[in-house]
């Protein structure tokens, strides 16, 4: 941001020492020295407006520079022929620059100007209604006070809460300093899919005999060969092969295509 340094305009520029009348300065505003003298004369006023905001997150020097930028804009736009005192014209311009500075820099999330202004209106309505009703007003009460729709009130409240997001690593409370928001966020459990598939398989295998279940368990869970299974159940390897083929064919006919 272009800054205006007091040291550059602390004294009246050469050639303007005799120009006491400010009206004469406005007629020569396009001259660099005349504009510089106009800025110098109103810097104290701009600084006083900036200091009203000094309780914010920025220091007085930063706010003063923002106010000086607003002053420069006001000098460029001022029309002395309208008969309005310059400071009365410049005050809204400088305050607007300061408020835009806080809107754009004072929050982690950039929100539209119209929504930012609505947040202020909601805050004002809440303060008024809380004093009148002696309790925190509801969304509908705030909307009635503002003569607006409830969803606009909700949007403003949510936007205000979103301006300052909380770090995932920040403690959630003094009582639980080791607990962070990241630890409260759930993750997709891969076993959910397995649970659903297992339920389908259990239903499809509901009428299998104990011998068929044993053969399937030894073959696919225990990873035994057919010859080893034959020894375990006291039958030939060919008989084990027939049990497996028959059982698997029955299950395939009952299961969804994506599980086969």
244 located within any domain: yes
Contact of 145 with 129, CB cutoff 8 Å: yes
Give the range among 42-46, 153-157, 162-166, 240-244 with minimum mean pLDDT: 162-166
- Residue 175 domain-assigned (yes or no): no
* 59 belongs to a structural domain: yes
According to the model, what pLDDT value does residue 18 have? Answer: 43
Can you give the CATH number for the domain in which 11 is found?
1.10.1740
Residue 234 to residues 25, 102, 190: CA-CA distances in angstroms? Answer: 115, 84, 39
Residue 178 forms part of a structural domain: no
Same domain, 33 and 85: yes
Say whether pLDDT at 65 is over 80: yes
Q: How deeply is 77 buried, as exposed, middle or buried, from its count of CB atoms within 10 A (0-12, 13-18, 19+)?
A: exposed
Say yes or no: 18 and 98 in one domain: yes
Q: pLDDT value at position 140?
A: 92
On whether the CB atoms of residues 155 and 199 are closer than 8 A, the answer is no
If asked whether residues 53 and 19 sit together in one domain, one would say: yes
C-beta of residue 41 within 8 angstroms of C-beta of residue 22: yes
Q: Where are the alpha helices (DSSP H) in the chain?
A: 22-27, 32-51, 60-77, 86-105, 113-133, 139-146, 150-162, 181-184, 191-204, 210-216, 226-233, 237-254
* C-alpha 15: how far from chain center: 53
Q: What is the DSSP letter of 215?
A: H
The one-character DSSP state at 12 is P
Average pLDDT score over residue span 125-138: 88
- Measured CA to CA, the distance from residue 126 to residue 120 in angstroms comes to 10
Q: Which of 87, 105, 123 is the last residue of a domain?
A: 105
Structure tokens at 244: 């497996």
pLDDT band at 205 (very low <50, low <70, confident <90, very high): confident
Instruction: Say whether both 118 and 196 belong to one domain.
Output: no
Residues 117 and 205 both lie in one domain: no
Under 8 Å between Cβ of 71 and 37: no
pLDDT per residue over 213-236, tens digit each? Answer: 999 999 989 999 999 999 999 989
What per-residue confidence (pLDDT) applies to 229? 92
47 and 10 in a common domain: yes
SS (H, E, C) 101-120: HHHHHCCCCCCCHHHHHHHH
Same domain, 100 and 10: yes
> Which structural domain, as residue segments, surrounds residue 82?
6-105
Domain stop point among 53, 70, 105: 105
Q: Which of 105, 125, 143 is the last residue of a domain?
A: 105
Q: How many domains does the chain have?
A: 3
Do 68 and 140 belong together in one domain? no
Neighbours of 12 (CB within 10 A): 16
- Based on the domain organization, do 10 and 95 belong to the same domain? yes
CB 218 within 8 A of CB 229: yes
Torsion sign across C-alpha atoms 182, 186, 191, 194: negative
Neighbouring residues of 160: CB distance < 8 A, sequence distance ≥ 6:
119, 122, 123
Look at residue 179 and tell me if it is in a domain: no
Question: Per-residue pLDDT averaged across 66-73, rounded?
Answer: 90
Same domain, 100 and 119: no
Place of tokens 């050639």: 15
Q: Is residue 100 located within the same domain as residue 124?
A: no
Q: In terms of pLDDT, which residue wins out, 94 or 184? A: 94
Domain assignment of residue 182, yes or no: no
Q: Residue 67: inside a domain, yes or no?
A: yes
Nearest to 61 by CA among 110, 9, 5: 5
What is the CB neighbour count within 10 angstroms for residue 165?
12
Exposed e or buried b per residue across 186-196, where buried means at least 16 C-beta atoms within 10 angstroms of its C-beta: eeeeeeeeeee
Structure-token pair, residue 86: 């310059």
Please indicate, yes or no, if residue 185 is contained in any of the structural domains: no
């Amino acid at each position: 941001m272009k800054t205006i340094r007091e040291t550059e305009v602390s004294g009246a520029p050469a050639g303007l020492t005799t120009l006491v009348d400010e009206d004469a300065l406005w007629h020569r505003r396009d001259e660099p020295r005349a504009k510089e003298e106009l800025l110098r004369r109103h810097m104290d006023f701009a600084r006083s407006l900036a200091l009203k905001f000094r309780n914010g997150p920025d220091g007085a020097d930063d706010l003063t520079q923002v106010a000086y930028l607003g002053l420069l804009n006001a000098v460029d736009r001022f029309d002395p022929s309208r008969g309005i005192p310059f400071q009365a014209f410049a005050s809204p311009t400088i305050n607007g620059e300061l408020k835009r500075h806080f809107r754009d820099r004072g929050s982690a999330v950039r929100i539209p100007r119209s929504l930012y202004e609505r947040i202020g209106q909601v805050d004002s309505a809440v303060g008024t209604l809380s004093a009148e009703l002696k309790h925190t007003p509801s969304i509908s009460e705030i909307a009635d006070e503002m003569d607006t729709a409830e969803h606009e009130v909700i949007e403003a409240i949510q936007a205000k809460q979103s301006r300052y997001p909380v770090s995932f690593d920040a403690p959630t409370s003094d009582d639980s300093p080791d607990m962070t928001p990241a630890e409260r966020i759930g993750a997709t459990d891969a076993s959910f899919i397995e649970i659903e598939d297992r339920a389908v398989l259990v239903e499809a295998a509901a009428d299998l005999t104990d011998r068929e279940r044993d053969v399937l368990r030894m073959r696919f869970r225990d990873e035994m060969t057919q010859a080893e299974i034959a020894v375990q159940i006291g039958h030939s390897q060919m008989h084990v092969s027939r049990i497996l083929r028959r059982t698997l064919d029955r299950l395939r006919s009952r299961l969804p295509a994506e599980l086969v």
